[in-house]
Every structure is written in C-alpha cells, then in structure tokens.
Amino acid sequence: MLTHRQVRYFLAVVDAGQVSAAARALNVSQSAVSLSIKDMECMLGTDLFERLPTGLRLTKAGQQFRHHAHDIAASFEAAVKSVETGSDQATGKVRLGMSWTLSSYFAFPVIEHFARQHPQIEVQLVEETRETLEQALVKGQLDLALVLTSNLTGGFGLKSKTLHRSHRRLWTSLDHPLTGQKNVSLADVAQYPYAVLRSDDAEKQGLAYWTDQTGQPEIKLTSTSIEAVRSLVASGQAVTILSDVVYRPWTLDGRRVEKIDLVEAIPTMDVGIAWSSQAVLDPAAKLLRETFDRSIPRS
C-alpha cells in the first residue's frame, strides 16, 4: 500500500525535476527518495518517470498519477488541519472569480476538494476577463480571483500570490522542419505560419516575443479554441508558442503535437490567487485561498 511519505516524495521530485534537488528540499538523503520512487513504480507496475541526462520527466502514467497525488496530499493536510483547528465547522460564502483558461485547467479540482472538506461553505463562481476580475476585486464584488498573476495590472490595489509558473514552449507537428532542429530561435519560428490563441491575454503575450531582429511570423489563425490551435499545429499548417498548462501531446483525432524549448528566454505564465489590498478576508475566504495554495502544483 502506498504511504503518505511516498506520495510526498513523488510530488517533491515532480516539482524539482531531479532526485537530488527533491532530496535537498525534503531534507532527506538522495537514496531515500530514489528508493521510494522505485518502490512506488514496482507497486504500481509502471514507470512514473523517464530517466534523462538532465533529470526526470513524467511518463504518461506519471502525469495521470500526479493529479491524484496532489488530491491525496491536500486531503491529508486538510484532515490534519481540521483536527488541529476545527476548520471542518467553518461556514460562510466565498465569491471566487476565474479567468477562462484557469477555470478549465486549475479551478474545479481544487473547488471539488474544498467542497468535500468544507461542506458548509458556499463557493460562488464567476468567469470573466482579467480586467473585469481586477475591477470586481477592488470594488468588493469578489473575495478572491484565480488569475494569471504575471499579467496583473501594477498598482491596481491588489495583492496576489503566485502558485504556479508554467514554461512557454514552441509547439510543432511531428514532421515539421523545426522538430528535429537543434537550437531553435524566434527568428527560425518567424519563417513559418503562426497560430495565436485568443484567451486570457494569450494573444497579447503570443505577439510580444517578436522584434525587428527576430522578424514577424505570418498569422495563419487567431482562435479562442485551444483545440483548433492544437489541430492546426498537429497538421503541420502552423506553429505556436504556448504554456505547458494547455499542452496536450495528442489532438482529438489522434495526431501528435511536439513541444520544443527555444533559445530565447520566454517569460513564464504565472498562475495565482489575487485579492483586494483593502479587503479583510473572512475565515471562509482564507480557507479557500489556503486550499489553492496547497493544491496547485508549483511547477
């Protein structure tokens, strides 16, 4: 049977990308972490990580297990905290705003877990643009908002905490000329048709990388549908630069999408929780903020 310690060690390796770094973060020996991962893989009957020269990368089975592992860890912490503080008796209402992309990829698993732990707290949900969410927080119409903290307007009367930093990489088709090329640069990418995702400032970000030095790509498609962008890339008709958060290796019709690191340093997409700097959060809102803090993977 898997133990909480094994799950904790697994998540530490996921966050760090290396056994040695995970061991330092956990303040345990490297051999203890390695043995724990090997025991888990033996128990589950499958590899959770690919062993690479630069570190470890999750296999498909590892990616599936990661989502459950976060739930397990969060449930354990919540169970301990409920005994320590009596938080299972908390009541109230929390008004939570979400941007479009984050509602799909981050919000609902955390909200489901929160509802199980705190059934007496009602979470009201609003999905809006970043600008609208910022204004609603300042006006006191929302308590919290799950947003791209990397895109927040400076000096808008908000506080925020970044919970996840997601790398942006180039997406190509399996047989695209750039897929097998070493040291791909923005200037290389600019030579090919480009797809832009119009969602949560992705359009603005996606067009901010290009300069006179790199050249400007020809925009083949601008779409609010991530699946449309994914399919166009997989068919070889365009490339795009998007966050790992929205990356999936397969399209709905089973075609492969590759992702490639670029030579240039592309800004990360930072996900977090924001609230008004003037607001005094009640216990229910603080509990939800803490649940997001515990539940969203750091990298």
Partners of residue 165 on adjacent β-strands: 270
Question: Exposed (0-12), middle (13-18) or buried (19+): which is 109, by Cβ within 10 Å?
Answer: middle
Instruction: Kindly tell me if the per-residue pLDDT of 76 is higher than 80.
Output: no
Classify strands 92-98 and 257-260 as parallel, antiparallel or unpaired.
unpaired
Confidence grade of residue 75 (pLDDT, cut at 50, 70, 90): confident
Of residues 10 and 204, which shows the higher confidence score? Answer: 10
Look at domain 4-81 and name its CATH class: mainly alpha
What percent of the chain lies above the pLDDT cut of 70? Answer: 92
Question: Exposed (0-12), middle (13-18) or buried (19+): which is 53, by Cβ within 10 Å?
Answer: exposed
Q: What CATH number labels 168-267?
A: 3.40.190.10
Instruction: Kindly tell me if the per-residue pLDDT of 155 is higher than 90.
Output: no
- pLDDT 10s digits, 187-223: 999 999 999 998 776 666 667 788 888 899 999 999 9
Q: What CATH number labels 88-164+270-295?
A: 3.40.190.10
DSSP annotation string for 59-121 = -HHHHHHHHHHHHHHHHHHHHHHHHHH-GGG--EEEEEEE-HHHIIIIIHHHHHHHHHH-TTE
Across the range 167-174, mean pLDDT stands at 94
- Mean pLDDT for the chain overall: 87
Report the alpha-carbon distance of residue 289 to residue 110 in Å, rounded. 10
The pLDDT of residue 87: 47
Q: Quick check: do 88-164+270-295 and 168-267 share a fold?
A: yes
The pLDDT of residue 282: 92
Instruction: Kindly tell me if the per-residue pLDDT of 238 is higher than 70.
Output: yes
**Poorest-pLDDT segment among 26-40, 60-74, 129-143:** 60-74
Q: Where are the domains of the chain?
A: 4-81, 88-164+270-295, 168-267
- pLDDT 10s digits, 247-262: 888 998 889 999 999 9
What burial letters (b/e) apply to 225-260, b meaning 16+ CB within 10 Å? ebeebbbbbbebebbbbbbebbbeeebeeebebbbb
Across the range 145-167, mean pLDDT stands at 85
User: Is the full-model pTM beyond 0.85?
Assistant: no
Across the range 100-111, mean pLDDT stands at 84
- Chain centre distance of CA 141: 26
The pLDDT of residue 100: 82
